[in-house]
Amino acid sequence: MRKLRRPVALGVLLEGKTGLYTITKQLQECVWLAIAQNKETVVVKSTRHFCLQNEMDVLLRFQRRSPYFRTLLDEIEDPPGPPALILRHLEDNLLRASNSKRLSRLEVKYVARRVLEALALLHEDGFVHTVKSYARNGDPIGTPIFRSPEAQLQIRWGTETDIWSFDAMLISLMYGEGFHIFKPGVSADDDDYELQILMKHHRCFGPFPASYEEIADQDRIAALILTSAREIRQEDKEFVLKIMKLDPRDRPTARALLEDGWFCQP
């Protein structure tokens, strides 16, 4: 197949520093699947947005220091056009997989430790999970149901917001089956969607617990502090509650959480 000197598109052959890649499928606006020379599937990300360069810089800085970052395999040199990165392809994401089969407690801890180790490395080097200027300006970032209250309110935030998002993810993994503690009862395009999430933050972890009517309603999310031991173990609930603090200054660091006795429990 001849090389086409045009932006990334289906069927285009891309030449990187270490290999050749043929685009086979578009996943999102700037994300494609491709087949490498060795027949392995890879991910191609291509855009002129500065975030792509930032992603490459972060991966190059950290991937040799920890195995818990997605591997940057190559950088496209030809055809000329928007910058393009070649990333390791993963068949599925763990959150979606846990929706069909709930993880065991040991599996949840395995994941939690590795996420915290990656976050600790980022945080100790002064990185948060997005561009620093966004944090200074209080710009909204991330999927709303995993977003911290301070990020939701668009006030200044830092590494503590990663800790909140980690805990929201952890709760979802503990429960499985598509459970999201802050998922509101309205659609994502509803004007009150993000306000409803903030209200859930307050009900679940603020000074006022959820009402018993909401706890009994299977179509809504019950506050974690009122869940029974049958839903998740008391030790797991206590670990989660150490993290879910509405004031970010009260949240433990990733490094402190790695030293928590919860990881030593069977």
Q: Spell out the CATH class of 13-88.
A: alpha beta
Q: In this structure, are residues 14 and 78 in contact, taking their beta carbons and an 8 Å threshold? A: yes
pLDDT at 214: 40
Amino acid type, 163:
I
pLDDT at 72: 96
Sign of the Cα pseudo-torsion (109, 110, 115, 121, in order): positive
Tens of pLDDT, residues 81-118 = 888 999 999 988 888 888 888 899 999 999 999 999 99
Residue 72 burial class via C-beta count within 10 angstroms: exposed 0-12, middle 13-18, buried 19 and up: middle
Beta bridge partners of 25: 33
CATH code, 94-264 = 1.10.510.10
- Average pLDDT across the chain, whole number: 83
Query: Cα separation of 28 and 32, whole Å?
Result: 7
pLDDT at 207: 53
Q: In this structure, are residues 75 and 29 in contact, taking their beta carbons and an 8 Å threshold? A: no
H or E element that contains 76: strand 72-78
φ and ψ at residue 24, rounded to 5 degrees: -115, -25
Query: Cα separation of 164 and 252, whole Å?
Result: 10
Break the chain into its structural domains and give their ranges: 13-88, 94-264
φ and ψ at residue 113, rounded to 5 degrees: -60, -45
Give the three-state DSSP class for 244.
coil
* pLDDT class of 225 with cuts at 50, 70, 90: very low
In 3D, which of 75, 91, 81 has the Cα closest to residue 47?
Answer: 81
